[in-house]
Amino acid sequence: MKLYVGNLPYTITDADLQKLFEEFGPVSSAFIIVDKMNNNRSKGFGFVEMSDEDAKKAIAALDQKDFNGRNLIVNEARPQVER
């Protein structure tokens, strides 16, 4: 399952995001979306992929949880819309 993770601190790295979610099970991938036009600065959100069961545990535990002074938004990612 692919998860959307929003309201992240701008200083978080891919490795930090993966470490946060590994508490709930193996992570297939974890990446922060960056603004290539702004020195690769984080846009404050990212995506994590993990098994459905582990992802549901992560959503239940982390959605609206305080992380470095920000309340995380964690939910199942919607399919990408073609432009």
Q: Tell me which residue has tokens 């200083």.
A: 11
Any domain includes 55:
yes
Residue bearing the bigger pLDDT, 3 or 81: 3
| Distances, alpha carbon 52 to alpha carbons 21, 22, 26, 38, 61, in Å | 13, 14, 11, 34, 14
| pLDDT the model gives residue 82 | 83
Any domain includes 75:
no
Residue 47 has pLDDT above 90, yes or no: yes
Domain tally, the chain? 1
Asked whether the beta carbons of 50 and 3 are under 8 A apart, the reply is yes
Mean pLDDT, all residues of the chain: 94
**Could you list the residue range(s) of the whole structural domain that residue 59 is in?**
2-67
Say which CATH number the domain at 18 has.
Answer: 3.30.70.330
- Burial class of residue 80, CB neighbours in 10 A (0-12, 13-18, 19+): exposed
Residue 38 has pLDDT above 90, yes or no: no
Give the residue-averaged pLDDT of 66-70: 93
Any domain includes 78:
no
Any domain includes 24:
yes
Residue bearing the bigger pLDDT, 82 or 31: 31
CA gap 62, 41 in Å, rounded: 24
